[in-house]
Structure 1
Amino acid sequence: MALNLIRIASHEAENPVGCSLKEAFELLEPKLRPPLAITIPTPQEYLLLNKAILYGVLCETHFAKTHIKHLHAIVIDGYGLFASLIATVVNELYTKLVDPVKCQLIWVTKEMIDVQAVGIHGLLVCFLRQIVGGDFSDGNLWLCFEIVSIFLTKWDSLLEVEPMILTSGLYTYLPLLADHYRLLSNPKLEALKQLEIDFCIKVLREQFSVCLKIGRDLVRLLQDVVHIPNFRATWKDLVLNQDKFKTPGFSVISQLYNTRTSSQYILLRISPEMETQLRFLLTCVKLGSQKRYQAWFAKKFLCAPNRETLIVDIVRFICCAHHPPNEIIQSDIIPRWAVVGWLLKYCTKNYVQANVKLALLYDWLFFDERVDNIMNIEPAMLLMVYSIPRYIDVTHTLLEFLFLLVDNYDVEHKDIIIRGVSSSLRVLVKKGVICSLDVLTSCDALSPVLKERLDRFLSGAELEISRG
C-alpha cells in the first residue's frame, strides 16, 4: 500500500504539487506494474509518466527500484525533468513530507547523482536550503547528516558533473559547524561534526580554486570556525602559506576581499519559506503596520533556542539578496534598514550581536564602486542616520563597530579596509543615499570621541598613517 506523501491538517487545503503527482500516479498506475510496456511517449505523456514514477518512488518504497528501472528505460532528457520534479517537491513540500518519504528523497537523489542527471546542482541546493541554522531538532540534524554524507560518498561523481556544488556545500556547512560546536553537551552531534569537518577541510584543501568563487564571505565564515582545532592549520596556510593550496594565481588572502559574494550563496542560508515571508514583509507591509508581521515571523523562525544565529543570515540576505526597486524605496513600505534595526534589537547574545553587525557592515570594508553594489551598504548607512536622535545608541554602536573593524579586522591589510570604508562613505553621498555626512559629523547627540574619529577618517589622515 502506498504511503501518504505529506501531512495535511484538517483545516488545510490539498497541496497542488502533491495532488499533481498523485493524480498522475493514479492515472498511470496500471502501466507502472511489471511487465512494463515501453513506448515512445508524447511530451505530455512523458511529463505525466515522470510524475507518476516519482510518486511511486516516494510512496511505494517496496517498488522503488522497479520504478527507477522504468525511469531508466524511458528517459530521453538526461533525467532533467525528473530531477526538476524532485527539486519542486523539496522546495515546496519538504517540511510537510512524512518521514519515510524524506528518506526516499535522499535515496532517489543518490540515484540521480549516479546517473549524472541534468540539474543535480540545483537539486542539491534545494536540500541545502532546507537545512536551518540554529535548529538542533532531530529532523534537521538528520538532514544535515544525510546531505554532508552525500557530498563525501559521491565526491568523485559531483566533482565530475559540477565542481561548483562543492562550494555551495562549503558555504552551508561552515556556519552549521560553528553552530554545532557551540553546543558541546549533545552527543548526537559528535559524528555529524566530524563529517562536517572532513567535508569542509576536503573542499578547502583539494578544490580551493573553486572556493575562490565564493568571494569575501568565505573569509567571514572561516573566521567563525578558526577556533576548531582542525581548521587552525588551514587558516594559518591561508594567511601565510598560500602555495599549499596549489592554486595558480592565488598568493594572498586579500584576493578574496576583491570578489563580492554572489546572492546565490547568500540564499543558501535562507529557506524558501523564510525567503517568501521576508520578501512579503519588505515589499507589501507599510511602515507603521509591521509589528504584527514581525511578531509572527519571530515566533515562526526565531523563538526556538539557539535560533538567534539565523539573524546573521537574514541580515546578509537583506543587504545582498533583496534589492527593492525605486518604486518600493520611494513608497511607504517598511524599508530594509528598519527591519535590520528590529533584528539587531532581537539579539541577546553578545557573539550574535557582533556577527550581525559584521554581516551588516561587511561589504563596507572592501567596497569598490566598479564591482560592488551600493544596495549592499545602504541599509547600514540609513540605519545610522535614521536612528538619530531617538535611537542614538544604535548609531553609536554601529559607528564604534565600524571603526573597530577598521582597526582590527585585518591589520596586515588595513589600507584595503580604510579604502573600502572611505569609498563606501563617498559613494553613499555621491549617489544620494544621504545628502551629506554632516548628519553625522554635526550631530550634537553623537559622542565627541566618535565625531573626532569620523572627522579624522574623512580627512584621509588614516589612510596616510596606514601606508606609513
Structure 2
Amino acid sequence: MFLGNTKFRTFFYSMASKLIVEAPYEAENQLKCSLRQAFESLQPNLRSPFSFSLSIPTPDQYSQLNHAILHGILAEPHFAKTHIKHLHGIITDGYAMFINLLIKVVHQLYPKLLGSVKSQLLWVAEEMINVLGIGFDAFLVSLLRQINGGYFSDGNLWLCLKMATLFLDKWQCLLEEEPDVLSCALYVFLRVLADHCRPNRPIDKNFETLRRLEVHLCVKIIREEFHLCLRIGKDFVKLLQDLIHVPEFRDIWKDLMLCPSKFNTSRYVNVSQLYHTRTCSKYVLLRINPQMETKLRFLMTYVKLGQQKRHQVWFFHKFLVEPDRETIIVDIVRFICCAHHPPYEIIQSDVVPRWAVIGWLLKSCRSSYVERSVKLALFYDWLFFDERVDNVMNIEPAILLMVHSVQKYIDITHNLLEFLLHLVDNYDVQVENKGLIAKGVSSALQLLAKKGVIQSFDVLTRCPALPPSLKEGLERLLSGVKN
C-alpha cells in the first residue's frame, strides 16, 4: 500500500538512485543521470518476474534496459542477483554494451562512488569474467587504474586487496582467455609494492596480509608465466630493482641474472633482452588515474607557457600534497615521456612544453629518494636506446630540460647531467651491459642531433657554469657518437 503513495515512491526512487557523493552546487554528471532516468522509468518492471516481452528489443530499448539494469545492480545490492538474471535474459551483443557502460562508470565516477557501489562493481566484475563478456579485460584494466600509488587510504588498500584476490581466484580463466590482463596486473602490483614494501614503514596485521597477497600474485605470474613479463619490456627490470630488498624478488633477480632456465621459457636468454624491449605506453598509463591524465593532457595541450602556475598549484593540492603521494611523480614523469607525445603543431606553439612540466615536478620532490627515482624515470629510455625500436619523443624532455635550464636554473642542468653520467658508469656494472649503456646513451644523443631536437651540444659542453668533469664526461659520450 505504501508504494501507491506518490511521495513515498519519489523518496524510494531517490534513495535507490544514489550512486555517488555529490558536492553542493556541483553539476550533475550526464552518465549518472542517464542511468538513473532509465532505472526510474523501468524500475517497476525490473522486479521478479521480469515483465518484458520476449521479443527482441529495438536498439533504443536495449540501451535503456542495459542502463536500467546496471543502475539496479549498483544501487540495489539486495536485488543484484535478480538484476543479473534479467541481464542474462536480454543480452544480444555478448555484454559489450553493458561492459562499456561499466568502464564509463569507473572512468568518470569512481572517486565519487559510494562504498556500497564500489563493492558492487567488484561483484559484477567477477560476473562478467564468468560469462566471458566482451571487453571484460578492459573493465579490469579500468579498475586497475583506480589503484593510486603512494596512497594508503582504507579505500585504496581495499581496492588493492579486492583486485589481487580477483586475479588469483580467476587465474585459470584469465590465463586462458585474456592473459594480457595478467601482465597489466603484474605491472600495477609491482609498482604498488614499491610503496607498500618501503623500509621502515609501520604496518598492521591487515596491511601485512595485503602485502603478502600482492607479493604472492606477482611471484606467481613471474615464476609460472614469465612470457607475460617479456611483454612489459624494460620497465619490468626497473620495477624489480625497486623491490630488490624484498627476499622473494631478490631471489627472482638472482635467477634473472644467473639462471634464465628457471623461468621455463626458451624465449628468455638474458636481461639485456629485456633492456632492449620497449615498454608499451599502455603499461605506463596504468599508473595514473583518468582524472590525473585528463588534467595533465589539458595542461600540455591548451595552457600557454607562463600561465601554468595556477594549474600546477591546483594539481599539486589535488594529487601530491600528502607526503606519501609524492612517489606518484615517478609515474607522472614516465607518462609524460612515454605516453604523451604531442603533435608537431603543439610542439611549435607557445603551449607549456613537456620539459617544463617535468622541471616543475622535479622541484616538487621533497625527499632525495623520490628525486633520484624521478631522474631515473626521466633518463630510463636513454639507457640501451635503439633507434630501430625506441622513440625520440621518449628522450626529448630530458635534453630540452637540461638545455633550457642553463640560463636561469643551472643547478637543474648540473644535477641532471651528473646523474646521467653516473647512470652510464654505475647502472649495471656487468662489463657487457655497461658497454651497451654507453652505446645506448650515445645513440640517443646522436638521434637528438639528427632529428634537430637540439642544434648543438655546445650550450652544454662550453657552459662556463658547469664543472669541467661533467663537460668532459659528455664529450666522451659525444665522441662515442662520432666513432
TM-score between the two structures when normalised by the length of structure 1: 0.97
Distance 2:55 2:255 in 1: 58
Q: What letter matches 1:98 in structure 2?
A: L
Q: What is residue 362 of structure 1 aligned with on the other side?
A: 380
The C-alpha deviation readout for 1:218-268, integer Å capped at 9, x for no partner, is 101110011111111111111111111111221101101111111100000
Q: What letter matches 1:222 in structure 2?
A: L
Distance 2:43 2:280 in 1: 44
Distance 2:290 2:28 in 1: 19
SS of the counterpart of 2:321?
coil
Q: Does 1:349 align with 2:374?
A: no
Q: What is residue 459 of structure 2 aligned with on the other side?
A: 439
1:10-409 to structure 2, matched below 5 A, reads 10-36=24-50, 37=52, 38-182=54-198, 184-187=201-204, 188-409=206-427
Aligned length: 463
Q: What is residue 20 of structure 2 aligned with on the other side?
A: 6
Distance 2:342 2:102 in 1: 31
Task: Give the direction of change, closer, same or farther, for the CA distance of 1:31–1:39 in structure 2 (3 Å limit).
Answer: farther
The C-alpha deviation readout for 1:27-57, integer Å capped at 9, x for no partner, is 2122212212433212221111111111110
Distance 2:17 2:44 in 1: 18
1:3 CA displacement: 5.3
Distance 1:377 1:130 in 2: 28
SS of the counterpart of 2:342?
coil
Q: Is the 8 A contact 1:389 1:445 kept in 2?
A: no
Q: Is the 8 A contact 1:323 1:375 kept in 2?
A: yes
Distance 1:184 1:344 in 2: 24
Q: What is residue 460 of structure 1 aligned with on the other side?
A: 480
Q: What letter matches 1:434 in structure 2?
A: I
Q: What letter matches 1:447 in structure 2?
A: P
Distance 2:95 2:135 in 1: 8
Distance 2:229 2:131 in 1: 25
Q: Among residues 429, 433, 452, which one is paired with 2:449 in the alignment?
A: 429
Distance 1:419 1:457 in 2: 8
Distance 2:480 2:18 in 1: 66
Percent of residue pairs identical: 60
Q: What letter matches 1:78 in structure 2?
A: G
Q: Is the 8 A contact 1:377 1:424 kept in 2?
A: yes
Q: What is residue 471 of structure 2 aligned with on the other side?
A: 451
Which stretch shows the higher mean deviation, 61-70 or 25-34? 25-34
The C-alpha deviation readout for 1:280-330, integer Å capped at 9, x for no partner, is 110111111111110110000000120110000000011111111111111
Distance 1:455 1:100 in 2: 60
SS of the counterpart of 2:322?
coil
Distance 2:474 2:44 in 1: 75
Distance 1:376 1:246 in 2: 32
Distance 2:183 2:289 in 1: 18
Distance 1:30 1:11 in 2: 31
Q: What letter matches 1:107 in structure 2?
A: W
The C-alpha deviation readout for 1:393-415, integer Å capped at 9, x for no partner, is 11111111111111111122111
Distance 1:457 1:305 in 2: 37
Distance 1:459 1:211 in 2: 35
5+ long unaligned stretches in structure 2: 1-11
Distance 1:415 1:305 in 2: 38
Q: Is the 8 A contact 1:225 1:231 kept in 2?
A: yes
SS of the counterpart of 1:269?
coil
Instruction: Name segments (4+ residues, structure 1) moved above 4 Å.
Output: none
1:186 CA displacement: 2.5
Q: Is the 8 A contact 1:174 1:221 kept in 2?
A: yes
5+ long unaligned stretches in structure 1: none
Distance 1:389 1:82 in 2: 55
Distance 1:224 1:419 in 2: 24
Q: What letter matches 1:15 in structure 2?
A: N
SS of the counterpart of 1:312?
helix
Q: What letter matches 1:83 in structure 2?
A: I
SS of the counterpart of 2:145?
helix
Q: Is the 8 A contact 2:460 2:471 kept in 1?
A: yes
Distance 2:183 2:97 in 1: 24
Q: What is residue 9 of structure 2 aligned with on the other side?
A: none
Distance 1:197 1:39 in 2: 50
1:390 CA displacement: 1.9
Q: Is the 8 A contact 2:227 2:267 kept in 1?
A: no
Q: What letter matches 2:341 in structure 1?
A: H
Distance 2:172 2:373 in 1: 35
Q: Is the 8 A contact 1:266 1:316 kept in 2?
A: yes
1:377 CA displacement: 0.2
Q: What is residue 8 of structure 2 aligned with on the other side?
A: none
